[in-house]
Chain A
Amino acid sequence: MFRNQYDTDVTTWSPAGRLFQVEYAMEAVKQGSAAIGLRSKTHVVLACVNKSTSELSSHQKKIFKVDDHIGVSIAGLTADGRVLSRYMRNECINYSYTYESPLPVGRLVVQLADKAQVCTQRSWKRPYGVGLLVGGLDESGAHLYYNCPSGNYFEYQAFAIGSRSQAAKTYLERKFETFTDSSRDNLVKDALFALRETLQGEKLTSSVCTIAVVGVGEAFHILDQETVQGLINEFEIVGEEPTPADETAAPDQGSGAAAPGPSEDVAPMDI
């Protein structure tokens, strides 16, 4: 994307019918470190890469528990992510208080999307610079949604966002058909494999990643470092999963969306 005269305000349309500020916000998501989500019929696994700016600092928190049955992983401006997580937590608490039952995931993501849309139509605001992978359980089963700064949201079987997420999406597109009936442990394994793809050769250890699980009879929780390292060691001993040579992955319904390149014709949020 190149600078042009229609990108100063979020409230300015381009002649091609695009809102560049919103698209720039979605660029911010692509710059963030990778976050991955996958779901089966009964479980959702969220995984993310935790890179700290220096050895001296702590890792950025990228996975948040929203309620016992919902969790979210983010990519992009983590401060925006933190604020939106607080909003989601409040919505869940208020819904539980009024209805004494857990907020259905689909309702939460719509509220989140509407909140994001407001920021695309106010001259004194800016869009949120964070993409959220919302994973949760409700009466209709396990769900994984992706909420983007444009105010759109999509449901996925598996998805990856952030930098080098295409590598993870390629892996997920190969394997996603097995996810629905996958066991919880295999789902976590697949998440780790997908995460490893985004590291492009760097060693996968529990210090660079965070994994969280939510499922039937299992409240949302982040797995501790020991458990994660144990799982990594398990499959590393068994042997490497062969990665395919092809880079082009046909976008499939229900799997990752095609990466919007610097094309001038289709706006990313319309995919």
Chain B
Amino acid sequence: MTKQQANWSPYDNNGGTVVAIAGADYCVIASDTRMSTGYSILTRDYSKIIQLADKSVMASSGFQADVRALQKVLEARHLIYQHQHNKQMSCPAMAQLLSNTLYFKRFFPYYAFNVLGGLDSEGKGCVFTYDAVGSYERVGYSSQGSGSTLITPFLDNQLKSPSPLLLPAKDAVTPLSESEAIELVKTCFVSATERDIYTGDKLEIVILNASGIRRDYMELRKD
């Protein structure tokens, strides 16, 4: 008599890839817009990126139901913060809040692989990268999701100075200009789309800098 195995999982993986790169005075956060389940595509036009505060943008791949729930909790917490402190949360503060929120569900985690990008209090770009239970680190760039194994080594190679392969990283942020960083991100996704079946359809890029926030879109292969 073999033991009965659980055949229902509370989780699903909707795939997708997210990337963020921090520059001297900007931050680029990008993700594809494909949402899948198993070998099927649910939609080609789903945004994984959300602006949580003036200078904090979060992109998350994984189980999008958990991602949405996590976004709502952070949005509500940010409103409370604004009422209490009469100002917006800084990106490092939001980073800590995200970590605490994730660890809060340590024993039934949010299946969300997050990357938080924004500007710190000095106006420099910052990127924070997380695991599903809230372990986080400030880095110069990061990639999470199904295409991350393809993109991360490429970014290590291209963004040499903030790369932790040169231990410790020579620079905290990339010396690239904003437009160079955007081109690099586009290249990352085009390559990842070729080999990762869960990445494709469309690329959404969010750029945060001193003048504010803007969005760029680019078509990706749909197969």
Which residues in A have some Cβ–Cβ distance to B below 8 Å?
65, 86, 89, 93-94, 96-97
Contact = CB atoms under 8 A, between A and B. Distances in A.
Interface of B: 72-73, 75-76, 79-80, 83
B83 A89 contact: yes
Interface on chain A toward B: helix, strand, loop, or mixed SS? helix
A96 B71 CA distance: 13
15 contacts: A65-B83, A86-B83, A89-B79, A89-B80, A89-B83, A93-B76, A93-B79, A93-B80, A94-B76, A96-B76, A96-B79, A97-B72, A97-B73, A97-B75, A97-B76
Given A94-B76, A97-B76, 13 more contacts: A65-B83, A86-B83, A89-B79, A89-B80, A89-B83, A93-B76, A93-B79, A93-B80, A96-B76, A96-B79, A97-B72, A97-B73, A97-B75
Interface of chain B, helix or strand or loop or mixed?
A: helix
A231 B148 CA distance: 57
Nearest to B72: A97
Contacts of B83: 65, 86, 89
Nearest to B82: A65
Nearest to A66: B83
Contacts of A65: 83
Q: 9 smallest A-B Cβ distances: which pairs?
A: A93-B76, A97-B76, A93-B79, A89-B83, A97-B72, A93-B80, A96-B76, A65-B83, A89-B80
A53 B80 CA distance: 30
Contacts of B72: 97
A157 B12 CA distance: 53
A65 B80 CA distance: 12
A94 B73 CA distance: 10
A65 B79 CA distance: 11
B52 to A, nearest CB: 14
A93 B76 CA distance: 6
A60 to B, nearest CB: 16
A93 B74 CA distance: 12
Contacts of B75: 97
A17 B150 CA distance: 78
Contacts of A94: 76
B68 to A, nearest CB: 10
